[in-house]
Amino acid sequence: MNLSHPHSSGTIVRCRRLLEPALREVVSGLHPWGARMVAFAMGWAGLDGREQDADGGKGLRPAITMLSAEAVGGTAEDALPAAVAVELVHAFSLAHDDIIDRDELRRHRATLWKAYGVGPALLTGDALLALAVSRLAARPEAMPYLSAALIELVQGQTADMAFENRPWSGPDVVTIEEYAEMAAGKTGGLLGAAAATGVALGGAPELADRMWTMGRDLGVAFQIVDDVLGIWGDPRLTGKPVHNDLRRDKKTLPVLAALASGGPAARELAAVLATGAADEESVRRAAHLVEEAGGREKARALADRYLDSALGVLDECLPEATELRDVCHSLVDRVS
Amino acid sequence: MNLSHPHSSGTIVRCRRLLEPALREVVSGLHPWGARMVAFAMGWAGLDGREQDADGGKGLRPAITMLSAEAVGGTAEDALPAAVAVELVHAFSLAHDDIIDRDELRRHRATLWKAYGVGPALLTGDALLALAVSRLAARPEAMPYLSAALIELVQGQTADMAFENRPWSGPDVVTIEEYAEMAAGKTGGLLGAAAATGVALGGAPELADRMWTMGRDLGVAFQIVDDVLGIWGDPRLTGKPVHNDLRRDKKTLPVLAALASGGPAARELAAVLATGAADEESVRRAAHLVEEAGGREKARALADRYLDSALGVLDECLPEATELRDVCHSLVDRVS
């Protein structure tokens, strides 16, 4: 992920240096076969099991956890169990989502199921989740937030999947409100847990509920940006093929906003999408129409609104937390 | 499941009556589509979503949880969150195991993935697990046992899967000790958690570690009986096709014990299995040779040894707990 925010990359690297040894230690307790698949999923190893330094994600969620702990006067180490748990849950969700969405490419490499098969990848996801839960099992001040994030994650993912069978026009069209609820669950829950567990383990559990809300808003902004990158992002930077969402009838925000605009471009878009938009030409035409109908602009505006709402909570609760604020900002100001 | 133990069926019914409303309430919070798949997985509904009363399993694990609480002076209600969690984890593991093993039939019906597809079934499993964790997230006296069971479950399942690539003879053959460790994880962990969380919530957390050990031993006995039923069980009672394990190179205890006996039947068995044993005739021949080489008898004896060990712990810790003892006994004395 390329971070365009100028202040945050040093912070992220510092957090990542703390996180990785802790993550590796947790994983080392797994069955050797399971550990090998986890190492591949994390970007630590290639298919042959040899060490490599692939792009395994920058660890933004655990950085939020550690910085949240620091922002309330604790240390990053205080929050390390939660930071590890949050990163493990993230890896779990990628492993399973790629199976569900039949995605074959992530971060410029084969996805876990594509590399090892559906059964082993499914089981590896379960292992990651089990390890995550074990980190906080005896921490009742933090565990409920991780648990709530798990529920939100599956609820959001289920809603997203159910959206695929909804029409592009008419009374059953997916509304922006339904989208926001789905995104708050699918993407926001874990960001909420990242921030809430951080302040809880950092010594300010009384702030955890507000940080949970902050993270959920941040998640909606993050998901909208993800949708935008899925249509107009550069695959060389994102590591994923472009236009996949359009091909799969995914109800992404730019498309929903374009359809809701109601002009001639919106009507043509609905017609193109209704035919299935399987061939390259109609996919490209659909992307063009989304932009013409104002979907891209509206998506950006809505992402900014949710970001502002999240930053507003931060400014109120933790006005001195500039590092945390920068990282949250960089989640939405990104190109990959 | 037909319980051959004469005293336990009334107890099981009593526990199940307490459990089911609590289970249904937890599930009612899911996305409607997710709730429908869970209802199918639990045997509450058919594929059409209509209520039915299929054989959804008798709830032996949650019964152990509730009876363990009663055995230490608590009430079954005290342990209800843990009983619900344990049953949900069990349902989670069935949903995912059936995908991993490509099993198409369970309890006389299509498996969840066969009925709804791999992606939705995977996600339903995740939902069941998330709900389970949420039940105990704020109960640090019980959560670590549920968490340990999750780790054991994936470790055991990974070992079981890795065994499929091991040979039937030579220095890399799977040993009885390796089998026991796998079964203690795959099957024993959750039974351990069932008993340990029961006493913990019932008011005797100091007994939880010993009950965890008891449950793990019980699990090895349970798994061996499962292996025996997989070869010689009646499909009309088990609800699953016979001989599936033999077809899939599963390293089950009767086969491992037969091979370890070293006589002429064992040698012929190794030769038949080495060819892949795909056709009906060689599968039937293999089953016959397992019995001839003493595999069935040895499996029964080993199951009894683990059962005795589990009951020994029970007699020591909770000598008055006759209902609990009967239910544990019935887990091993079963024909389905």
Q: How do residues A180-190 score in pLDDT, each as one tens digit?
A: 999 999 999 99
A17 pLDDT higher than 80: yes
Q: Which residues pair with B105 in a beta bridge?
A: B110
The band of B96, judged by pLDDT with boundaries at 50, 70 and 90, is: very high
The band of A242, judged by pLDDT with boundaries at 50, 70 and 90, is: confident
- List the alpha helices (DSSP H) in A103-207: 112-116, 118-136, 143-163, 176-183, 189-202
> What pLDDT does A1 receive?
46
Query: Residue B174 and residue B50: Cα distance in Å, rounded?
Result: 45
> What pLDDT does B233 receive?
86
Q: Judge whether A99 lies within some domain.
A: yes
Q: Judge whether B213 lies within some domain.
A: yes
Query: Residue B299 and residue B311: Cα distance in Å, rounded?
Result: 18
Answer whether B150 sits within 8 Å of A129, measured CB to CB.
yes
Q: Judge whether A199 lies within some domain.
A: yes
- Count of domains for chain B: 1
Q: Judge whether A1 lies within some domain.
A: no
Q: How do residues A148-165 score in pLDDT, each as one tens digit?
A: 999 999 999 999 999 988
B76 pLDDT higher than 80: yes
Query: Residue A222 and residue A303: Cα distance in Å, rounded?
Result: 7
Within 8 A of A134 by CB-CB distance, chain B residues are 144, 147-148, 150-151
Q: Judge whether B1 lies within some domain.
A: no
> What pLDDT does A2 receive?
45
Within 8 A of B130 by CB-CB distance, chain A residues are 147, 150-151, 153-154
Of B33, B131, B150, the CB nearest to A158: B33
The band of A6, judged by pLDDT with boundaries at 50, 70 and 90, is: low
Q: Give the pairing of strands A109-110 and B109-110.
A: unpaired
Query: Which residue in B has a C-alpha nearest to residue A93's C-alpha?
Result: B126
Q: Residue A261: give the domain boundaries.
A: 8-332
Q: Judge whether A301 lies within some domain.
A: yes
B144 pLDDT higher than 80: yes
**For B19, what's the count of Cα atoms within 13 Å in the CB-facing half-sphere?**
27
Contacts of B29 (CB under 8 A, 6+ apart): none
Q: How close, in Å, is residue B302 to chain A by CA atoms?
A: 25
End-to-end CA distance of chain A: 5
Q: Judge whether A3 lies within some domain.
A: no
Strand locations in chain B, DSSP E?
A: 105-106, 109-110
B165-194 average pLDDT score: 96
Q: How many CB atoms lie within 10 A of CB B140?
A: 17
Answer whether B154 sits within 8 Å of A126, measured CB to CB.
yes
Q: Judge whether B121 lies within some domain.
A: yes
B277 pLDDT higher than 70: no
Q: Give the pairing of strands A105-106 and A109-110.
A: antiparallel
Answer whether B150 sits within 8 Å of A130, measured CB to CB.
yes
CATH number at residue B182: 1.10.600.10
A259 pLDDT higher than 80: yes
Contacts of B296 (CB under 8 A, 6+ apart): B228, B231, B232, B254, B290
Query: Which residue in A has a C-alpha nearest to residue B118's C-alpha?
Result: A100
> What pLDDT does B54 receive?
62
B276-302 average pLDDT score: 91
Residues B15/B76, Cβ–Cβ less than 8 Å: yes
A27-37 average pLDDT score: 93
Of B96, B133, B134, the CB nearest to A126: B96
Alpha-carbon distance values, A196 to A147, A222, A223 (Å): 12, 18, 19
Apex A83 CA angle, B135 and A185, nearest 5: 55
Hey, what amino acid is at A255? V
Q: How do residues A42-79 score in pLDDT, each as one tens digit?
A: 989 888 878 876 666 679 999 999 999 999 999 999 99
Within 8 A of B153 by CB-CB distance, chain A residues are 126, 130
Contacts of A133 (CB under 8 A, 6+ apart): A85, A146, B133, B147, B150
